[in-house]
Structure 1
Amino acid sequence: MPKVTYIEHNGTQHEVSVESGLSIMEGAVQNGVPGIDADCGGACACATCHVYVKEEWIDKLSEQSDSEKDMLDFAFETKSNSRLSCQLILEDKHDGIVVNLPEKQG
């Protein structure tokens, strides 16, 4: 079961174990991590689960779909490492992944 560290904009860290096959967004919602609103429930239809993935993890994740790229246009302060956490499905190889949360969501 991969461990995910969510770092809020204010620096508060939440390290949680998330079942493989779930998304980083689902892990946050199920564990009460603040800062990921997930208004659409993971349908890639909003940008309220926007995260910044630590650079060393970018190449270990699936590539962005066109839908995800389009939705990120609606996210607040995107960067080159911006992703929608609903599109990041965890596998055991992602154990230790770190994501930072933006100051605000969409």
Structure 2
Amino acid sequence: MAGVGDLIGQSVWDSTGVWVGQVVDVRVVKSRGTGFGVHEEFEVRGLIVSANRAPILLGVARDPGGRMSWFVHLLQRLLYAGSTYVPWEAVASTGGGEVMLSTRRGTLQRV
């Protein structure tokens, strides 16, 4: 599997070959029962995919705690209105700059 940073910007295609968009964010959660500090483990839960891209908001506007200011949050909501959430279970493969899904575009949830 590609690293989380490698997923950002990859094109996403559904199971029928329809372009869904590009990965603009990755949703992760801290795994239960892991240690603190350098030994923390995270699990990928899903991808945020958008036909619009605003490279300025690709994670660089967050503080070390992962939080955004209210202005950046509002700007992100405006730029990425109509984005699609792809659960990680729907990802069939990653690599070569593309993410292939095992489901159709119409079954995905809008964010």
When the two structures are superposed, what TM-score results if normalisation uses the length of structure 1? 0.26
Structure showing greater radius of gyration is: 2
Instruction: Specify which structure has the higher proportion of strand.
Output: 2
TM-score (norm 2): 0.26
